[in-house]
Amino acid sequence: MRISLLLLLSLVLPPASGSAQASSPRPAASVLFGAGRRAVTEFVRRYWARDTVQAQIRPSYWKEGALIGGGVGAVAGAVLGHGLCEMSEEAGKNCTGSLLLGSVLGAALVAIPGALIGGLFPKHQEAEASGS
């Protein structure tokens, strides 16, 4: 009897939310989604203007590293591509395509680490002679 009374009351009465749930703040819409293009540009101008630190990008040897790495990778890729083509069982096969593809892939794969390694070494600025 008690169970049926509780079941009947739970179906008739709506669930009450707790006091902590009723006073919880709702998420607000973002400035980027709630306004037009003018508000977005104003937002970007206002908040990006706070960045007062000037970027100090010092010259390094990243280009030289990419060239050296690309050259080494091209030679290694060409040797590997030609060697793999020569090991095929097809008689009289032309391996020029494999050689070129291996050199291009080898140059692309090794140029990136070469540029990263070259970027670790800063270029030293030569002091200008003030007496000349």
The structure's pTM equals 0.53
Whether 68 contacts 60, CB under 8 Å: no
Looking at the DSSP bridge assignments, the partners of residue 60 are 122
Using CA atoms, how far residue 53 sits from 21, 43, 49, 58, 94, in Å, is: 43, 19, 10, 15, 58
What pLDDT is attached to residue 130?
47
Q: Which amino acid is at 129?
A: A
35 φ, ψ (degrees, to nearest 5): -125, 175
Which of 16-20, 42-46, 88-92 tops mean pLDDT?
Answer: 88-92
Per-residue pLDDT reduced to its tens digit, 57-111: 788 999 999 999 999 999 999 999 999 988 887 777 888 889 999 999 999 999 9
CA distance 89 to 104: 24
* Boundaries of every domain in the chain: 62-87+94-118
